[in-house]
Structure 1
Amino acid sequence: MAKQARAIQTRRMILEAAGAVFDEFGYESATIAEILARAGVTKGALYFHFASKEELARGVLGEALTTEGVLPQESRLQEWVDIGMVLAHRLPKEPLLSASIRLSADRKARDLFGTSWEGWIDFIAAQLAAAKDQGELLPHVDVRQGANLFVGAWTGIEIVSTALEDGESLESKIAGLYDYFLPAIAVPGALRGLDTAPDRGARVWEVYRTRQAEEPGEATAVMGGK
């Protein structure tokens, strides 16, 4: 068990180092040597887990579709909001997450190993479908189209935000995206109860982390809206 735990930890260290290097330099300019230096592991250890730089990039993309930190909600729309807001809170601090956007947006890299966007679109469409089944969405809403539009908008905001560095946090901008997006799809009754404040992601993440520390693997409490 100890050997398995070390292997999992080593793999994670390599992925985090690769994410940081891809995020900083892009796929083409990233080197195995730099990833090894950041990870602090041997070449043999790296190639035990990942056969090539391409496989490393695929591993980083595989970490992109994460709902870690999101607590179950009675409102499926609130749960969907929390996914986007927690990600907006975490992404600027976690190169492994932001690297997935850089890799997805890199046309040359995309030709080699695809993107994380299709997985996100599928996941969000399922979230919106569940919200619609629960009566939270307007009848005319096409959940697949909504998911496509939202993923494109979220990604675009993150890329533009990084480029402009205008002092406004990603959390604030994504909160604004939800505030514009939700009235077009949500029934008024569901809309009134939603918490889309810029600090929503930070609050949910803090509750999740606290519960993980107290009861590892059982962060299942419901955090209410406004």
Structure 2
Amino acid sequence: MSNPRRPRRQQQRAIDTRQRILDTAGALFVRDGYEGTSVGDLIAAARTSKGAFYRHFPGGKADVATAIMRDTLTMEGLREQRFMLQEVVDIGMILAYRISHENALQAALKLSFHSNAPETYGTPWPDWIVFNRGQLAEARRRGELKPFVDVAEQAHQIAGNWAGTVLISNTVDRHLGHVEARISRMYRNLVTAIAVPDLLPELDLSVDRGRHLYTAFLEGPAEPADQGEPADQGEPADAEEGDPE
């Protein structure tokens, strides 16, 4: 008799292996760069097999980089706030907290500035600029912005200022331990320049803002498991017979 729990174990094993490859790739891309990391390096460091690697990433290293971009540069942790400018600040502070703790996000930032990024595995900056533009347009509708603010230009500048602050902080300090404080100061300067004066005392620009929001997100209630959904009997085992994991 077949074990109905085995497909779920296989699925979880596949999920864990994929995440281990991404975590490993993040660390190697940060240390050695995209071009300095081979598929063989990824397979060995992730303690997986060639077959398992290519089941998850059939396009090889470029697929891994694409997955890092897609999976790590997210808006997770952002919550609806009373003021839209608070949300503008919050997403930048969340990402500042995360980038100081997550190899994959550090790798995503480094990869995003590769000269061939748009053609090879994509880059997040156009999407973030569009996101910023939407936030700022809503802030303008709510009367939070000074009249002279050019929403499209400011959206572009926020992304550029954030990335430049992180990159310079890492280059000068050789670590990201001070990046949250520097990003907090960046946003303080930003809102002082663009927000209507009455709004400034209402905004939380604290250094640990990102940490509080993101840890609250991680500690939030888990969604209940769907007890009625049968296991996918067609999900292949992650490792072939004899494949190391």
TM range (shorter): 0.7 to 0.9
Contact 2:162 2:183 in 1 (8 A): yes
Contact 1:85 1:174 in 2 (8 A): yes
Q: State TM-score, norm by structure 2.
A: 0.80
RMSD: 2.1
What CA deviation, in whole Å up to 9, does each residue of 1:12-71 have, x standing for no partner? 222222122111111110111221233222111111111211121111111243122223
Q: Return the structure number with greater helix share.
A: 1
In the alignment, what sits opposite 1:216?
A: 222
Structure 1 residue 174, shift from structure 2 partner: 0.1
Gaps of 5+ in 1: 219-226
Counterpart of 1:160, as a letter, is I
Look up the SS of the partner of 2:80 in the other structure: coil
| Structure number with bigger Rg | 2
Quick one: structure 1 residues 32 and 117, their matched pair in 2 at CA, closer, same or farther if it must change by over 3 Å? same
1:148 aligns with 2:156: yes
- The one of 14, 17, 23 equivalent to 2:24 is 17
1:77 aligns with 2:85: yes
Tell me which moved more, 57-66 or 85-94.
Answer: 57-66
Tell me which moved more, 21-30 or 159-168.
Answer: 159-168
Aligned residues: 215
In the alignment, what sits opposite 1:187?
A: 196
Quick one: structure 1 residues 144 and 9, their matched pair in 2 at CA, closer, same or farther if it must change by over 3 Å? farther
What CA deviation, in whole Å up to 9, does each residue of 1:117-168 have, x standing for no partner? 1111111212222222222222332222111111111111111111111786
Structure 1 residue 111, shift from structure 2 partner: 4.8
Gaps of 5+ in 2: 1-6, 225-245
In the alignment, what sits opposite 1:197?
A: 206
2 CA distance for matches of 1:139 and 1:65?
31
Counterpart of 1:61, as a letter, is M
Identity %: 39
1 CA distance for matches of 2:165 and 2:99?
13
Contact 1:82 1:200 in 2 (8 A): yes
After TM superposition, the runs of 4+ consecutive aligned structure 1 residues lying more than 3 A away are: 3-6, 108-111
1 CA distance for matches of 2:45 and 2:78?
29
